[in-house]
Amino acid sequence: MNKAWWKNSVIYQIYPRSFADSSGDGIGDINGITEHLDYIKELGADIIWLSPVYQSPNDDNGYDISDYQEIMEEFGTMEDFDRMLAAMHERGLKLVMDLVVNHTSDEHRWFMESKKSRDNDYRDYYIWKEGKDGREPNNWGACFGGSAWEYDRETDMYYLHCFSKKQPDLNWENEKVRREVFDMMTWWCDKGVDGFRMDVISMISKDSAYPDGEADNGLYGNMSPYVCNGPHVHEYLQEMNREVLSRYNLVTVGEASGVTIEEAKKYANLDDTELNMVFQFEHTDITGGKHGKWTTERMELKKLRAVLNKWQTELEGKAWNSLYWDNHDQPRAVSRFGNDAPLYRERSAKMLATCLHMMKGTPYIYQGEEIGMTNAYFKRIEDYRDIESLNAFRDYTEKGLIDEEEMIYCLQAVSRDNARTPMQWDDSRHAGFTAGTPWIRVNPNYPMINVKAALEDPDSVFYYYQKLIRMRKEYEIVVDGIFKGLLEEDENIYAYERTLDEKRMLVACNFSEHEAACSLFEQEGGEELISNYKFHKTGILQPYEARVVLY
Ligand code: TEU
């Protein structure tokens, strides 16, 4: 096979709960997705990554799976799924399933068995430990608050859950667990799915010493160094590759919290023995610190540039990048990295799109990003639904670490619910998302920001994305060009070039609301491939201006 097909593809992520509700129960569903496939086709994306649609009690909106081979009732049936998959394939769209196998739901049959007794056949499917001096086995804090260990009175032991206590971690050291997972994956591959996005796959192998973690935030110890990129993770993924992945023509993406460049080169090595690419978090983690992600701090261009350029240059020729600004765990791109005030929203959304889509790697578009949807900015804790946000609000305010008002500001800046408000289809009630009552409030700006309005405006963010996607198909340099950072000291402009054979593509983006001096485009000749401004000023980039010129 020549070039891997996913290298010139664009991935569109759907968060099914919030995409489109066909049944009127206020919750998005599979038939709702099927009804909107032509919209995604029109945008030009080729691959759809579907956040989990499996049976789940929804403690974490489907990332807690109780049956990997059933569809969540609220989302529809397996027949609906099959129809959706066929409809995607008819349109030449590929489907990537979310594979959540670091943990299951505590309502999964395996866990219900495992919990029954110390000698149950399934006991060793999960990670059970004795307590220490009447307490948890160590001080690890779970990602969603509290201890990472839950006590089980019946058997007088603790089980590990890196996320909520309803998400017990699977024990990948157990060969039977790996067999079950590989068989399940094979079943989906035989159904015809085209790939997997693997949830926190970097966390499947734990440090067997289970040492205490550093505790500096007044809450629990940091488990990351002992659960991310653990001792056997590459061994397990190579086994998965041999047993399943290599037997099909798939695209595979590892969501890899805590991944470093060195690790990424192993996960996504071009020799094709593990995965095709990883999702790294360095550029979304440049804010935050003492209180984890909870901060209202704005990102600094200098830091952002350093991280992006590092990933671009260091993976060159060794591994492949995933390119993303936002997803269902992140605030909205335009609110976080751009400027969502009416004057600049569209311009900065287009600037961010340019910046990302012209880099080397496979770009991801998160539903609504293509119309410049913004953060929800909910002011009342009652409006939030996300387990992480609700738990953090409770933990930090109860301990007096952050006061309530400040914590609401933090949620407005970085809560995952900012990305989870319903897709804004039109200006009718509930943004055309549902005929019922939506499970989470619609962003009040929907009368202005919606798909219908975007499709009617030839100058919209939507058509700009469409053009960027088309460029990836038309210009080899967008896919293959070598990346080099430019103007690396500039306070306002992020710029780089891509080169391929004799060609050179210059990309410059003004990340500020002020004019910024820029002489990059002064040289003679060159063809402008795209810009979010019709007219340029000599030697200047206007507020949030982005330009791409091919020489
Ligand atoms: O997210 C994993 C992950 O790294 C998160 O902890 C992320 O850092 C956090 O959501 C940011 O606040 C994956 C899924 O994408 C997420 O939706 C799930 O909740 C989580 O795994 C558990 O399955």
Using CA positions, which residue lies closest to atom 23 of ligand 1?
Answer: 63
- Give the per-residue pLDDT at 3: 61
**Angle between helical axes of 404-414 and 387-398 (0-180°, round to 10):** 150
Please tell me if the CB atom of residue 36 comes closer than 6 angstroms to any atom of ligand 1: no
Ligand 1 centroid–CA 199 distance in Å is 8
For residues 30 and 74, give the distance between their C-alpha atoms in angstroms, rounded to a whole number. 9
pLDDT tens digits for range 349-359? 999 999 999 99
Ligand 1 centroid–CA 63 distance in Å is 9
Please tell me if the CB atom of residue 227 comes closer than 6 angstroms to any atom of ligand 1: no
Whether the pLDDT of residue 414 is over 90: the answer is yes
More confident residue, 60 or 288: 60
Whether the pLDDT of residue 144 is over 90: the answer is yes
Using CA positions, which residue lies closest to atom 10 of ligand 1?
Answer: 329
pLDDT tens digits for range 67-82? 999 999 999 999 999 9
Q: Are 496 and 548 in contact (CB under 8 A)?
A: no
Probe target for ligand 1 pocket from 50, 200, 228, with the most ligand atoms within 8 Å of CB:
200
For residues 227 and 141, give the distance between their C-alpha atoms in angstroms, rounded to a whole number. 12
Whether the pLDDT of residue 183 is over 90: the answer is yes
Please tell me if the CB atom of residue 98 comes closer than 6 angstroms to any atom of ligand 1: no
Ligand 1 centroid–CA 329 distance in Å is 6
Catalytic residues, by residue number, are 199, 255
Q: Can you list the domains of the chain with their CATH numbers? A: 7-104+175-375+447-467 (3.20.20.80), 109-160 (3.90.400.10), 481-550 (2.60.40.1180)
Probe target for ligand 1 pocket from 105, 143, 164, 384, with the most ligand atoms within 8 Å of CB:
143
For residues 321 and 483, give the distance between their C-alpha atoms in angstroms, rounded to a whole number. 12
The closest-lying atom of ligand 1 relative to the alpha carbon of residue 388 is 12
For residues 141 and 134, give the distance between their C-alpha atoms in angstroms, rounded to a whole number. 17
- Give the per-residue pLDDT at 217: 67
Ligand 1 centroid–CA 5 distance in Å is 27
Helix (H, G, I), strand (E, B) or coil at 521: helix
pLDDT-derived band at 60, boundaries 50, 70, 90: very high
- Give the per-residue pLDDT at 216: 72
> Looking at beta carbons, which pairs linking 144-153 to residues 24 or more positions away fall under 8 Å?
144/60, 144/387, 144/388, 144/391, 144/392, 145/219, 145/388, 145/391, 145/392, 145/394, 145/395, 146/220, 146/391, 146/395, 147/220, 148/220, 148/223, 152/115, 152/128
Whether the pLDDT of residue 1 is over 50: the answer is no
For Cα atoms 84, 331, 543, give the angle at the middle one, nearest 5 degrees: 110
What is the mean pLDDT of the segment spanning 25-54? 98
What is the mean pLDDT of the segment spanning 188-214? 98
Closest CA to 227 of 143, 147, 162: 162
pLDDT tens digits for range 95-116? 999 999 999 999 999 999 999 9
Probe target for ligand 1 pocket from 13, 14, 17, 63, with the most ligand atoms within 8 Å of CB:
63
- Give the per-residue pLDDT at 2: 43
Using CA positions, which residue lies closest to atom 22 of ligand 1?
Answer: 63
**Angle between helical axes of 345-357 and 461-474 (0-180°, round to 10):** 20
pLDDT tens digits for range 249-272? 999 999 998 999 999 999 999 999
Please tell me if the CB atom of residue 386 comes closer than 6 angstroms to any atom of ligand 1: no
pLDDT tens digits for range 324-341? 999 999 999 999 999 999
Please tell me if the CB atom of residue 101 comes closer than 6 angstroms to any atom of ligand 1: no
Which DSSP state fits 213? Answer: P
Please tell me if the CB atom of residue 60 comes closer than 6 angstroms to any atom of ligand 1: yes
The closest-lying atom of ligand 1 relative to the alpha carbon of residue 387 is 19
Using CA positions, which residue lies closest to atom 20 of ligand 1?
Answer: 63
Please tell me if the CB atom of residue 319 comes closer than 6 angstroms to any atom of ligand 1: no
The closest-lying atom of ligand 1 relative to the alpha carbon of residue 257 is 4
Please tell me if the CB atom of residue 199 comes closer than 6 angstroms to any atom of ligand 1: yes
Task: Give me the chain's average pLDDT, please.
Answer: 97
pLDDT-derived band at 288, boundaries 50, 70, 90: confident
Using CA positions, which residue lies closest to atom 12 of ligand 1?
Answer: 329
Percent over 90 (pLDDT), the chain = 96
Question: Any bridge partners for residue 323, and if so which?
Answer: 363
Q: Are 413 and 375 in contact (CB under 8 A)?
A: yes
Please tell me if the CB atom of residue 280 comes closer than 6 angstroms to any atom of ligand 1: no
Which DSSP state fits 209? Answer: T
